[in-house]
Structures are given as structure tokens and as C-alpha cells.
A and B are shown apart, each in its own frame.
Chain A
Amino acid sequence: ELKVEQNPLFLSMQEGKNYTIYCNYSTTSDRLYWYRQDPGKSLESLFVLLSNGAVKQEGRLMASLDTKARLSTLHITAAVHDLSATYFCAVHNDMRFGAGTRLTVKP
């Protein structure tokens, strides 16, 4: 059974700091997705990673995919308050989601 594990589940960081969220999955997949959910809102697509070695960047967020290690990372550079949200990874097989990482960026 496919398992998708994110860590950390909770992340509190100060503005200006860097950090990485990890997404491990248990079976072979060459496609992975990242979504963002603001409090009380629905989910929105952030990144689509379609192959091994794929890297996508938008603003202060950068996502990468290593299909051999079954690992995707979401790197946050110089965090700002507006990035506070819950971030989910989802593996293409079965469209299964991780538990989410709740990020809080403090001044």
C-alpha cells in the first residue's frame, strides 16, 4: 500500500530563515504534486514535478523530485509571513496525499 509521509508536520519559523519540508513515499512514482491550503480555505496547486530530477521554483519556494530516493522536497528561502499555510504533497499513484505540514512564519 502506498504511504506518503511528510515531515515535519508542524513548522514554526522566523521571517528571513530558510527551511525544507520533506515528502517521502513508499512506491515507485514519477510524478508528484505540491498543494497549498490557507486556513479555512481549499487547496491550490503549487508545483507539478513530472520526472526524476525535476525542479520547479516560484518566488521563495522551490520543489524538487528524486524518484530513485522516492523523495520530494519543498525548500523555503527567506520566509515571509504570507507563506504561512499548510503544504501537502501528493503522489500520482492513487492521488494519495501526505498529512500536510503546517507552516507558521513569525515576524
Chain B
Amino acid sequence: DADVTQTPRNRITKTGKRIMLECSQTKGHDRMYWYRQDPGLGLRLIYYSFDVKDINKGEISDGYSVSRQAQAKFSLSLESAIPNQTALYFCATSGRGVAGANVLTFGAGSRLTVL
């Protein structure tokens, strides 16, 4: 099984629908992240969480919300999806590494299309 599992892997939905992307990890990491990837824009951070009680906005949090249900689970919600939220979404985790290194382990990605 993958260390970081994202579901669904692909989703097509319509404008205005509520969508939830789920992420679970088996690495025992405290930190979890949600990114979106758009061609030519790299990865942009949406939200991140350093533990169950800690949620922080990233670069582009508008239109998104998150829930950290447990140390191993971090879900991303689009309350009312719009077409410009069509993107590839990645969940990532990290632990407290050597010398403060914060190497990310990524899930396989969730491709979302909003029509």
C-alpha cells in the first residue's frame, strides 16, 4: 500500500457541486499539506496542518476548506466547485527530519475536472 493515499484519483463534477478529496497516510507524520498543480504554475499550497488541532491557510485557500480528522487523515473540500478549480491536487506529508529538514512525501494526485 502507498504511504500517502488519495481518493478519488479522478473526478468529474459540475459547477456548484460540493466535492471532498481525501488523504490518508501511514508514515506517522504530523504534518500534512494540500497543493494544487496547474500547468506552468508549479505547485501552490492550499492548506497545511502541523497537527490535528493546527490548520493554516496557504497561498490560495479561497474557495477551499480542510478538515484534519486524525493524525493520518486530512481532507480537502470545495464547497461549491467552479471551473477554475479544475486542476491536479496533491496531498503531501512530512515529519520532523534531521536538522529541521521537511521533506515532503506526496500522494499520487487527484485529478478534478469541474464542468
Contact = CB atoms under 8 A, between A and B. Distances in A.
B104 A95 contact: yes
B45 A31 contact: no
Interface of B: 33, 35, 40-45, 48, 58-59, 90, 92, 97-109
Contacts of A94: 45, 58-59
Interface of A: 4, 6, 9, 31, 33, 35, 41-45, 48, 50-51, 88, 90, 92, 94-100
Which 3 A-B residue pairings sit nearest by Cβ, starting from the closest?
A: A99-B42, A97-B43, A97-B42
Nearest to A10: B40
B90 A45 contact: no
A97 B41 CA distance: 9
B41 A95 contact: no
B90 A42 contact: yes
Given A42-B90, A43-B104, 4 more contacts: A45-B103, A90-B104, A95-B33, A96-B45
A42 B43 contact: no
B115 to A, nearest CB: 22
A28 B49 CA distance: 23
Nearest to A2: B59
Contacts of B106: 42-44
Given A88-B43, A96-B59, A98-B42, A45 B107 contact: no
A48 B104 CA distance: 10
20 contacts: A31-B100, A33-B102, A33-B103, A41-B108, A42-B106, A42-B107, A43-B43, A43-B90, A43-B92, A43-B104, A45-B104, A50-B99, A51-B99, A88-B42, A92-B100, A95-B48, A96-B59, A97-B43, A99-B40, A100-B42
Contacts of B58: 94
